[in-house]
Structure 1
């Protein structure tokens, strides 16, 4: 069966590459994936899947760091202009850009696969040394780029959908394909979990191109070491005053934020495991002769466990509040992203290994059982949801040669990994359907 899947997937290769390049050319950031999601929904429907989208799969109340209504409207217009389906896009108003496709094939376990869709807030390199530019599929959307391979993830996910639809008569159970918005900034998984996207799931698989598998033909079967994280914005509001004539009448938000930034980084690392804290942005002030009345910090905490991250975030809140009090300014703290820690289940990782060992694409020496992510991914929220109900989950890394690192303006991956990725995920679905239900 695996050889047949490899053959069928190989026949899709040109279409997979074309789809990936189309998505790469028209990237969309978190909560604005209107064109991408409409194309996903249309393709799933054409393949015979029951499709749910909009409020049926995204809990509006759980969404974090959503663009303004005006920004969302502009992105919807752009998506239609770039070929998105206007009727489907209208159903996603408000940034509800998640999509689920389900193929029911009789009694058996529910096997879910998750694929993220969003791009990065980044301008893509625009010179002839960069292959997407040279070959005409670089981003046409200013300030947005697929610099993390999610265009490839969507292409693989739709390839899996089409391949499994061809094999429907051999399936025993339900395939649920989850196309998630807003992975960057860990914003999209939580609202889909809260909307019930993982209800009844026995087995969950997700994955990533490259990252900890930076060579074509490599495979990590079960990624662990997901760092829990909290992303936050801290807005300080003071009082403007003449910096020369009446500085005592002002309340300096810039100094409050600067003090907070230094002291956030002074929080001790946690003794029970890895911990991180970072201030990535500090904007403040309005003029050289004005006491700064405003400042904004964009930061994050991370922890090897959810408990460690929670401890770091609690300390961060104390530092931020203390800095605001010391300078007599107001503080508004907003949580804009979150995820938990997580580990793949060894039993499911072993199933991935067995499937890969039957494929010609993966050399035995390049198949690794496990590696730690050493970063954050909101797939961990979905993983935790399934595991809490008795199901199993695993996250794999599909190896690829890379032109540059992830989130780099010159990022590009080896498209030879796409067809084997389709075959591997499809084979894993069939193998999971031979296992007993768990939920």
Structure 2
């Protein structure tokens, strides 16, 4: 029989102050409200309405309608000082939920399968605590509720609409509920935490014909296959082995019949890397496509989209977050300083504008069957991570705005 530990014991072990422990019931209630009503990118109307209502009830100044559904709340401390931003994304995914819980998604085909419902609850809980304890910090906190992280990206349009201005943000932090780490572990590191995400779509135009007369054709399947094979040399022979990169072809569509040589082929995939200098991988890919097509007498069209740049943490702010984590969390869970993933995040755009740190908050609890990976139809997490997230944010505020 597996021993269980009470929520109070977990929160106490992680040095969560009583006032934040007292928020736990509300945090869970808010998170489950968001979970039941998930909304896709730039359609987070119910979510934004709920957030705005709570901010109004708490007497917190806020602005709505930024980049369609985004919100920024402004909380001033006891004296003038620096400005710290806190970012929380709030969109869901086009996934049909398979969890059997009483707070299961009520929106068919849409699900909070990545923890953004938890992010919003943590940010809202942080706002409530700070608004009730303004004498614990100087300066200003701007809490940014961001739409559309899952794509096409809400960070950049929020920045373009001035979310980091008036007052100007000096630094910014954010967290991601993370089922790749056990409950309570914090993954934080200076430099690249998450990778750039770029996508490509290639249409190879050959010349179709009868399967019995290949000499009259330019076989798009053969040409496309050569391109896929040659792509495998990009990382192996064009990238410094000290760096990390991934080139993946995830789609290959060609042909309609077994005895017909395909007229065209379409390939789609993704490119990921940590080092910003690897932006020129796009040129290497096109050189391969161009060379292969030219050798076969075919033509091509390339559509290449740079989605998100690498998520790169400022060393000083990452050190602050790491110190806070060490003060907040007891071993054996502790801090995972070298935590990295080839996943991507548009928090990266905020970190290009001001120094900041994005970190992972472990939320997996296999004993409670809460360890399914992100974007899985049975994704869920241990909700005791919510109070831990608020404590982390509040301590970061108190330390940065001391």
TM-score (norm 1): 0.74
Q: Deviations over 1:224-251 (max 9, x none)?
A: 4334424223141748866569988987
Is residue 2:123 matched to residue 1:153?
no
What does residue 49 of structure 2 align with? 38
What does residue 179 of structure 1 align with? 145
What does residue 7 of structure 2 align with? none
Distance, in Å, in 1 between the alignment partners of 2:17 and 2:48 is 27
- The secondary structure found in structure 1 opposite 2:93 is coil
Q: Indicate conservation of the 8 Å contact 2:274/2:310, yes or no.
A: no
Is residue 2:379 matched to residue 1:411?
yes
Match of 1:304 among 263, 271, 274: 274
Q: Indicate conservation of the 8 Å contact 2:37/2:106, yes or no.
A: yes
Is residue 2:362 matched to residue 1:399?
yes
Pair 1:342–1:355, CA change in 2 (3 A): closer
Output the aligned Cα RMSD.
3.3
Q: After TM superposition, give the deviation of residue 413 of structure 1 in Å.
A: 0.8
Is residue 2:18 matched to residue 1:7?
yes
Match of 1:265 among 207, 228, 232: 232
Distance, in Å, in 1 between the alignment partners of 2:56 and 2:384 is 27
- The secondary structure found in structure 1 opposite 2:248 is strand
- The secondary structure found in structure 2 opposite 1:342 is strand
Q: Deviations over 1:350-373 (max 9, x none)?
A: 4335544554xx214433272231
Is residue 2:247 matched to residue 1:277?
yes
Q: After TM superposition, give the deviation of residue 410 of structure 1 in Å.
A: 2.3
**What runs of 5+ residues in structure 1 fail to find an aligned partner?**
59-91, 126-131, 388-392, 435-439
What does residue 198 of structure 1 align with? 164
The structure number with the bigger radius of gyration is 2
What does residue 391 of structure 2 align with? 423
Distance, in Å, in 1 between the alignment partners of 2:201 and 2:275 is 24
Distance, in Å, in 1 between the alignment partners of 2:52 and 2:222 is 49
Pair 1:102–1:280, CA change in 2 (3 A): farther
Q: After TM superposition, give the deviation of residue 109 of structure 1 in Å.
A: 0.6
Q: After TM superposition, give the deviation of residue 19 of structure 1 in Å.
A: 1.8
Is residue 2:333 matched to residue 1:333?
no
What does residue 317 of structure 1 align with? 286
Distance, in Å, in 2 between the alignment partners of 1:211 and 1:158 is 21
Distance, in Å, in 1 between the alignment partners of 2:152 and 2:179 is 17
Q: After TM superposition, give the deviation of residue 431 of structure 1 in Å.
A: 2.2
Distance, in Å, in 1 between the alignment partners of 2:345 and 2:160 is 17
Match of 2:72 among 88, 100, 104: 100
Q: After TM superposition, give the deviation of residue 208 of structure 1 in Å.
A: 1.4
What does residue 136 of structure 1 align with? 102
Pair 1:27–1:320, CA change in 2 (3 A): farther
Distance, in Å, in 2 between the alignment partners of 1:31 and 1:248 is 51
Pair 1:232–1:221, CA change in 2 (3 A): closer
- The secondary structure found in structure 2 opposite 1:373 is coil
Distance, in Å, in 1 between the alignment partners of 2:56 and 2:288 is 50
Q: Deviations over 1:277-322 (max 9, x none)?
A: 11223334556676656654332212231102x1322212323344
What does residue 313 of structure 2 align with? 343
- The secondary structure found in structure 2 opposite 1:210 is strand
Distance, in Å, in 2 between the alignment partners of 1:322 and 1:40 is 53
Distance, in Å, in 2 between the alignment partners of 1:219 and 1:11 is 22
Match of 1:26 among 19, 28, 37: 37
Match of 2:93 among 112, 120, 126: 120
Q: After TM superposition, give the deviation of residue 148 of structure 1 in Å.
A: 1.9
Pair 1:163–1:337, CA change in 2 (3 A): same
Distance, in Å, in 1 between the alignment partners of 2:222 and 2:286 is 17
Q: Deviations over 1:385-423 (max 9, x none)?
A: 213xxxxx2222222224212232322111111112112
- The within-5 A match list for 1:31-110 is 31-54=42-65, 57-58=66-67, 92=68, 97-105=69-77, 106-110=79-83
Match of 1:215 among 163, 167, 182: 182
In the alignment of these two chains, the number of paired residues is 377
Q: Indicate conservation of the 8 Å contact 2:184/2:388, yes or no.
A: no
Moved more, 35-44 or 202-211: 35-44
TM-score (norm 2): 0.80
